[in-house]
């Protein structure tokens, strides 16, 4: 199976380097994406540019791919399901939830000079980063790429309700499946509240399991 891997804010395709070998050894074709504005030098990139890059990868796949989104990129994966519901085999969301129509993509952190730099580890202290040792923290911070505000402040537009027919797997790292089900049931995640096929998978990690638990994460993606 073709597996498109989309990392969250500040990360390029290299975030999946430790996941790819296991997926390949299991007979799959992982495709880590480096998004416009997150590794290609396009400082003026927009959310629409990132969506277009994901759709191009879907259209280039020889068969219906699994689309994996991490953190903020869970919304990118969901936007792909909205734009190509007939071409996406499954959406996997890791440590995040899709934004609703009309919401900003990822307007969570302070922007400086038209980009949103990695804010340091302060906002992520606690369950998000408890499983990361100092070397892992250093690696993530050193690789972090400021994200253009044209991406983070871009408005999410969802138009095709066939997206709700696409199977969803929610991988729960720093939160539990029970917590995720509670949030969805309470209406806090309206998009997933309408999904017709959703499975919940637990992984004992923080927010970056591709760094701290890459082999286990790879196995979960194709289990």
61 alpha carbon, distance to own chain's centre:
19
- Look up residue 216 and give its two tokens: 């286990």
**Which of 222, 217, 192, 199 is CA-nearest to residue 77?**
192
- Look up residue 6 and give its two tokens: 């989309």
Each residue's pLDDT tens digit in the chain (223 positions)? Answer: 999 999 999 999 999 999 999 999 999 999 999 999 998 888 899 999 999 999 999 999 999 999 999 999 999 999 999 999 999 999 999 999 999 999 999 999 999 999 999 999 999 999 999 999 999 999 999 999 999 999 999 999 999 999 999 999 999 999 999 999 999 999 999 999 999 999 999 999 999 999 999 999 999 999 8
């Amino acid at each position: 199976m073709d597996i498109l891997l989309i990392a969250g804010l500040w990360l390029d395709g290299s975030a999946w380097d430790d996941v790819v070998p296991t997926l390949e050894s299991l007979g799959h074709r992982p495709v880590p994406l480096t998004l416009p504005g997150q590794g290609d030098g396009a400082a003026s990139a927009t959310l629409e540019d990132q969506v277009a890059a994901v759709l191009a990868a879907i259209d280039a796949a020889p068969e219906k791919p699994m689309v994996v989104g991490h953190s903020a990129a869970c919304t990118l994966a969901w936007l792909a399901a909205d734009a190509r519901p007939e071409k996406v085999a499954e959406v996997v969301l890791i440590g995040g939830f899709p934004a609703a129509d009309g919401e900003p993509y990822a307007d969570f952190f302070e922007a400086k000079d038209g980009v949103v730099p990695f804010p340091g580890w302060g906002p992520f202290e606690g369950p998000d980063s408890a499983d990361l040792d100092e070397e892992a923290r250093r690696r993530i911070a050193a690789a972090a790429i400021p994200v253009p505000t044209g991406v983070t402040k871009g408005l999410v537009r969802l138009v095709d309700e066939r997206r709700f027919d696409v199977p969803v797997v929610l991988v729960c790292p720093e939160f539990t499946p029970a917590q995720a089900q509670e949030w969805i049931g309470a209406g806090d995640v309206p998009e997933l509240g309408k999904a017709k096929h959703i499975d919940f998978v637990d992984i004992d990690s923080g927010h970056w399991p591709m760094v701290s638990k890459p082999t286990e994460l790879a196995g979960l993606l194709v289990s």
